[in-house]
Amino acid sequence: FSGSPFYAKMIVCVNKFGGVFVGVKLDGRAFADKLQEELKQEVATWKENGKRLPKLVVILVGEDVGSQVYVRNKERAAKKIGFYSQIDRLSDEVTEAELLERIQQYNNDPEVDGILVQLPLPKHIDEEKVILTIDSKKDVDGFHPMNMGKLFIGKPDKMPCTPYGIIRLLKEYNIEMAGKNAVVIGRSNIVGKPMGQLLLMEDATVTITHSRTQNLKEITKQADIVVVAIGRGEFLTADYIKEGAVVVDVGMNRNAEGKLVGDVKFDEVSEKASFITPVPGGVGPMTISMLMDQTVANRRED
Ligand code: NAP
């Protein structure tokens, strides 16, 4: 792993499955911090030169506890990098029309570079309509159908931050994707499907699986790269993967003790995988850094 970054962490050298390899933790937090430091330096030079700083608006509807945490993390990262972030907190009684009107105001504001509406939204608001209303150029979450369409014709602009962050992390560790068998578990619009497309664009041979897939284990055991995004705590055990596979864990779940766990049973899978993302500290921080990256990119293009 001569090309691997300095923060590569060794897990084991010889595993109990009889294989000899070095399992490396894909340290999303360290790489995300490095990327944010680079963005901070870029933004600092803009400040010195009197250029307007980037601005991200996050719209939060209601009091969902998880959403509050995610929004706070995004605001913290934006502050750290040194650009303006504004959290627009709306009551869960806001009407759909009022929310759409608010988004239009930000679309028309030339000082706003990125708009993000934190999901999920209350049931009386149509999420699809909300996403469609965001100016696709300011859609730093990459969920707008225009951005999804561009991605699927192989001409990406704004990309869904989680799969984009995963690809950046795999590249940082020089993990070869071309010609490899990649299996994605989960087919959501924000993770599974775009993940498959991004792996395809890296010339991997991609299989996307879901809850109706039969013989999942037989499919995942053929994979060189497995990305798990299903939202089921510690679902993927060592018997799902082949020796030396690369395993990316997108899941964020609370176990019975209230501890944050991924979709992968880390302790046993890390002994069989060649590379693996931890939870926390793997995919999550990369998602936030990609959001910042796509917001700064909008200002850079101005
Ligand atoms: P989602 O919309 O609920 O989709 C889950 C997908 O998993 C569905 O396609 C479902 O199949 C599939 N699935 C469920 N159980 C399965 C099983 N037993 N075997 C195979 N496939 C199964 O979830 P999501 O939004 O993609 O999120 C997935 C997980 O990632 C969640 O834990 C979420 O919190 C986490 N997440 C983390 C980040 C981050 O930044 N770290 C970002 C986004 C999401 P069907 O389509 O057939 O129902």
Q: Tell me the pLDDT tens digit for each residue of 201-220.
A: 999 999 999 999 999 999 99
pLDDT at 301: 75
3-state SS, the chain, equals CCCCCCCCEECCCECCCCCECCCEECCHHHHHHHHHHHHHHHHHHHHHCCCCCCEEEEEEECCCHHHHHHHHHHHHHHHHHCCEEEEEEECCCCCHHHHHHHHHHHHHCCCCCEEEECCCCCCCCCHHHHHHHCCHHHCCCCCCHHHHHHHHCCCCCCCCHHHHHHHHHHHHCCCCCCCCEEEEECCCCCCHHHHHHHHHHCCCEEEEECCCCCCHHHHHCCCCEEEECCCCCCCECHHHCCCCCEEEECCCEECCCCCEECCECHHHHCCCCCEECCCCCCHHHHHHHHHHHHHHHHHHHC
Handedness of CA 55, 61, 67, 69 (dihedral sign): positive
Handedness of CA 102, 300, 37, 33 (dihedral sign): positive
Chain CA centroid to CA 75, Å: 16
pLDDT at 23: 67
For the cut 60, the answer to whether the pLDDT of residue 190 exceeds it is yes
pLDDT at 7: 63
User: For 48-74, what is the mean pLDDT?
Assistant: 94
Confidence of residue 66 (pLDDT cuts 50, 70, 90): confident
118 is catalytic: yes
Q: What percent of the chain has pLDDT over 90?
A: 90
56 CB-side CA count, 13 A: 30
267 is catalytic: no
Confidence of residue 73 (pLDDT cuts 50, 70, 90): very high
135 is catalytic: no
pLDDT at 96: 98
CB atoms within 10 A of CB 133: 19
For the cut 90, the answer to whether the pLDDT of residue 18 exceeds it is no
For the cut 80, the answer to whether the pLDDT of residue 179 exceeds it is yes
User: For 214-231, what is the mean pLDDT?
Assistant: 98
pLDDT at 302: 73
Rounded distance between C-alpha atoms, residue 133 and residue 127, angstroms: 10
Q: Are 11 and 271 in contact (CB under 8 A)?
A: yes
Q: Which atom of ligand 1 is nearest to the CA of 210?
A: 21
**Angle at CA of residue 109, ends 107 and 110, nearest 5°:** 110
Confidence of residue 62 (pLDDT cuts 50, 70, 90): very high
Q: What is the pTM of this model?
A: 0.94
Which residue is closest in CA terms to ligand 1's atom 39? 284
Residues 6+ apart with CB under 8 A from 184: 192, 195, 196, 199, 206, 207, 208, 209, 227, 229
Which listed residue (74, 138, 158, 193) is catalytic? Answer: 74
Q: Is the CB of 253 under 6 A from ligand 1?
A: yes
Q: Are 59 and 117 in contact (CB under 8 A)?
A: yes
Q: Which amino acid is at 270?
A: S
pLDDT at 9: 55
Write the CA distances from 160 to 144, 208, 210, integer angstroms: 9, 17, 19
Of the candidates 195, 181, 202, which has an alpha carbon nearest to the alpha carbon of residue 244? 181
Residue 280 Cα to ligand 1 middle (Å):
17
User: For 69-84, what is the mean pLDDT?
Assistant: 94
Q: Is the CB of 188 under 6 A from ligand 1?
A: yes
Q: Are 120 and 127 in contact (CB under 8 A)?
A: yes
For the cut 70, the answer to whether the pLDDT of residue 11 exceeds it is no
Q: Which atom of ligand 1 is nearest to the CA of 165?
A: 40
Phi, psi of 227 (to 5 degrees): -115, 125
Q: Give pLDDT tens digits for 111-141.
A: 999 999 999 999 999 999 999 999 999 999 9
Q: Are strands 84-90 and 253-254 parallel, antiparallel or unpaired?
A: unpaired
User: For 20-48, what is the mean pLDDT?
Assistant: 91
User: For 13-24, what is the mean pLDDT?
Assistant: 58
